[in-house]
Structures are given as C-alpha cells and as structure tokens.
Amino acid sequence: MKRRERTRQLIELGGLVAKAGFVELADDDRAAIFGLLVEAAAKLRADETGNQLTLWRRRGRRAFVDAEGKD
C-alpha cells in the first residue's frame, strides 16, 4: 500500500472512531479507546462462527444510513 493510500485509510478510520462517539465518551483518552479496540479484536479472534463480525457489520450499516438521513 502506498503512503498516500495508507494515510487516507488511517484518517478515515480515525473519523469512524470519532463518528461512533468514542472520543467524547472516553474524554479523548487514547488508552481507553485503544483498549476498546483491542478488546473488540480479541472478541473477533475468539468468535469461531463469525457471528460477531456479521452483527457489527449490520449495526454499522444501519448507523451509516441513519447518519446520512440526519444531514
């Protein structure tokens, strides 16, 4: 992956963290936000059925649709 593409990806991912409300909920505590992401990754690794990822994907898609309707 080229540097520009990676930079764009990282900015977009950071935007998702902010859009989800984690920055405000954690009072911009980066250790807490990182801990949340580490916990989610561990949960995905332990989920042999893939159900958790499917559930989160559905919730994310609904949240995107809801956010678009608020603009």
Print the domain residue range for 39.
3-70
DSSP class per residue in 30-42: HHHHHHHHHHHHH
Q: Rg (Cα) of the chain, in Å, rounded?
A: 14
- The per-residue pLDDT for range 25-52, each reduced to its tens digit, is 999 999 999 999 999 999 999 999 889 9
- CA proximity to 36, closest of 55, 20, 15: 20
- Structure tokens given for 24: 């405000």
- Structure tokens given for 6: 């990676």
Total tally of structural domains belonging to the chain: 1
- The per-residue pLDDT for range 5-14, each reduced to its tens digit, is 999 999 999 9
Greatest CA separation found in the chain? Answer: 38
pTM equals 0.79
